[in-house]
A and B are shown apart, each in its own frame.
Chain A
Amino acid sequence: EVQVLESGGGLVQPGGSLRLSCAASGFTFTMYGMSWVRQAPGKGLEWVSSISSSGGKTDYADSVKGRFTISRDNSKNTLHLQMNSLRAEDTAVYYCAKTVMSTTPEGPVRWFDPWGQGTLVTVSS
Chain B
Amino acid sequence: QSVLTQPPSVSAAPGQKATISCSGSSSNIGNNYVSWYQQVPGAAPKLLIYDNTQRPSGIPDRFSGSKSGTSATLGITGLQTGDEATYYCGTWDSSLSAVVFGGGTKLTVL
Contact = CB atoms under 8 A, between A and B. Distances in A.
A114 B33 contact: no
B44 A112 contact: no
A45 B92 contact: no
Please classify how large the interface on chain B is, using the bins under 10, 10 to 19, 20 to 34, 35 or more.
Answer: 20 to 34
Interface string B26-45: 00000111010101000111
Contact of A47 (B39, B56, B101): B101
B33 A107 contact: yes
Most buried by B among A50, A95, A108, A111: A111
Given A47-B98, A47-B101, A108 B2 contact: no
Interface of B: 2, 31-33, 35, 37, 39, 43-47, 50-51, 56, 88, 90-92, 94, 96-104
Contacts of A104: 33
Q: Which applies to chain A's interface (DSSP): helix, strand, loop or mixed?
A: strand
Contact of A107 (B46, B92, B101): B92
A65 to B, nearest CB: 10
Contacts of B100: 47
Given A100-B50, A115-B46, A108 B88 contact: no
12 contacts: A62-B96, A62-B98, A95-B44, A95-B45, A108-B33, A109-B33, A109-B51, A110-B33, A110-B99, A114-B46, A114-B47, A117-B44
A41 B94 CA distance: 28
Contacts of A95: 44-45
Interface string A83-108: 00000000000010000100010111
Contact of A112 (B2, B35, B51): B35
B45 A115 contact: yes
